[in-house]
Amino acid sequence: MTEALLRAESLIRTIPDYPEPGVLFRDITPLLADASALRAVIDAMIAPFEGEFDVVAGVEARGFLLAGAAAMEAGAGLVPIRKAGKLPRPAASVSYALEYGSATIEAHDDIRQDMRVLLVDDVLATGGTLVAAHELVASLGGTVVGTAVLMELEALGGRALVGDVHAVFTA
């Protein structure tokens, strides 16, 4: 790992018992506020996929921040994947199971047939959201050429569901 990435990783704060007791929340806002750290992680996120994608799809909410920067850096378009009810004209939606209940994500039809998509999110935890995002892209006719996350929480086993994921950091 480069010195720039080690420094970027040191900016991620772990907040115990947020949003509920027993959870260790990874606060990436100090990293986002540091221009050189942000550039280092964005470069690391997209490097394995250079030239392979037409658009970056970012998963709500913190994935938007990283996906926007990745799209700008790569000269690609950006497509938001939102929680249900947040888009004025959803073209596709996918529901998926959560630990307690379910959730739904949606996207507009800005992902066209045969469009190559890089999926970006902040954290890979249990994998449910990213699996649903893969299904959503496919339902719109796009092809996911890669999945990149800032951090993978290995103990939660999300990679077993999602498959190949490029994680800049692991915890």
Q: Which residues are tagged catalytic?
A: 62, 99
- 3 state DSSP class of 152: strand
Handedness of CA 105, 107, 113, 116 (dihedral sign): negative
**Phi and psi at residue 11, in whole multiples of 5°?**
-85, -15
- 3 state DSSP class of 69: helix
Q: Are 60 and 81 in contact (CB under 8 A)?
A: yes
> Which residues fall within 8 angstroms of residue 131, CB to CB, at 6 or more apart?
96, 161, 162
Outline where 21-127 has alpha helix (H): 29-32, 35-46, 62-74
